[in-house]
Amino acid sequence: MKKKIGVLVMSYGTPKSLDDVEAYYTHIRRGNPPAPEQLKELKDRYKAIVGGVFPLRENTDRQVEDLQAELNRQQPADAEFVCYQGLKHAYPFIEDGVKQMAEDGITEAVGIVLAPHYSTMSVGSYIKRAKETAEEAGLRISFIESYHLHPLLIEAFAKRVSDKLDAFVETGAKREEVKVLFSAHSLPERILSIGDPYRDQLLETSEAVAEKAGVSNWQFTWQSAGRTAEPWLGPDVLDTMKELSEQDVRYMLVSPLGFVSDHLEVLYDLDIEAQQVAEELDVRLMRIDSLNTDPLYMRTLADCVLAECRKEALVHE
């Protein structure tokens, strides 16, 4: 019989319905319920995105299914991979995924996050929760911390950048006139004082994607900063757009490299909020398509999982 290897696929999570937004938001805020106006504002953002639904759930479901299929397609003959979801802020939570594996009799597993860059505040916190539950459940699990320079990931992003630059050219712009804005979710500035690799990894991905796509006119900027009193990493994409328009840049291609799916931070913060600013500035703004289930992304994840399994001697060459 083939040995079963568990794969804990971790992702941010999204509410199931508008009624669930309050519990979700309270979880993000570490148990502190949002004020009524904050809740209304978040619900309004969800209502404004395509169809007023929660696309991240379906995207994560499909990514997990496709990864399992890809792993079993590539698998060494002696193992079968079974993927489990573990979400940071929604059901099934990270703890639920780990417990389910143990209940299903899995004793060896690998964990990976659907976010390529490591920060103690993002991937680090997913891993901490999974590790703690795995220890309680007597499950052996090891983790992939980041994969921000995987060649297939870089290829997938670079192709998306090139495709959208072609789209700009079709509308009459010159390729080199388009400013490519690589972006990622901001985090509180204090991460830098603890030597967190997040910003450096994002800059490395940006450089690699720019090189592969043959782009020299680019810069990195942050997006989606939290609404808290402490300083967050900047400049924010909206400020960057304003500054560039003052320098007479008329074409901008925003390329979120820290996200792998269509969700609120892309479909609202970029497609609605940043587009509104672009209109006010009389700038033409496009966005690269999200990776979602791009086979190159699925192969990136599968490669990382298989490499980790070989390192841990869970499978043979």
- Which residues of this chain interact with ligand FEC, rule CB under 6 A? 12, 14, 25, 28-29, 42, 54, 56, 115, 121-122, 185, 187, 226-228, 258-259, 263-265
Nearest-approach distance from CB 72 to ligand FEC, in angstroms: 25
- Whichever of 264 and 302 has its CB closer to ligand FEC, that residue is 264
Nearest-approach distance from CB 122 to ligand FEC, in angstroms: 4
**Residue written as token pair 């757009």:** 241
Q: Answer yes or no: are the C-beta atoms of 182 and 257 closer than 8 Å.
A: yes
Nearest-approach distance from CB 309 to ligand FEC, in angstroms: 23
- Whichever of 134 and 267 has its CB closer to ligand FEC, that residue is 267
- Whichever of 102 and 121 has its CB closer to ligand FEC, that residue is 121
Nearest-approach distance from CB 12 to ligand FEC, in angstroms: 4
- Whichever of 56 and 288 has its CB closer to ligand FEC, that residue is 56
Q: Answer yes or no: are the C-beta atoms of 127 and 145 closer than 8 Å.
A: yes
The residue among 153, 147, 151 whose CA lies nearest residue 304 is 147
User: 260-294: buried (b, 16+ CB within 10 Å) or exposed (e) per residue?
Assistant: bbbbbbbbbbbbebbeebbeebebbbbbbebbbbb
CA 221 to chain centre: 16
- Whichever of 60 and 309 has its CB closer to ligand FEC, that residue is 60
Nearest-approach distance from CB 42 to ligand FEC, in angstroms: 6
Q: Answer yes or no: are the C-beta atoms of 138 and 251 closer than 8 Å.
A: no
Count of beta carbons in the 10 Å neighbourhood of residue 155: 19
- Whichever of 6 and 13 has its CB closer to ligand FEC, that residue is 13
Nearest-approach distance from CB 262 to ligand FEC, in angstroms: 8
Tokens read off for 229: 């009193």
Q: Answer yes or no: are the C-beta atoms of 218 and 210 closer than 8 Å.
A: yes
Distance separating alpha carbons of residues 84 and 87, to the nearest angstrom: 10
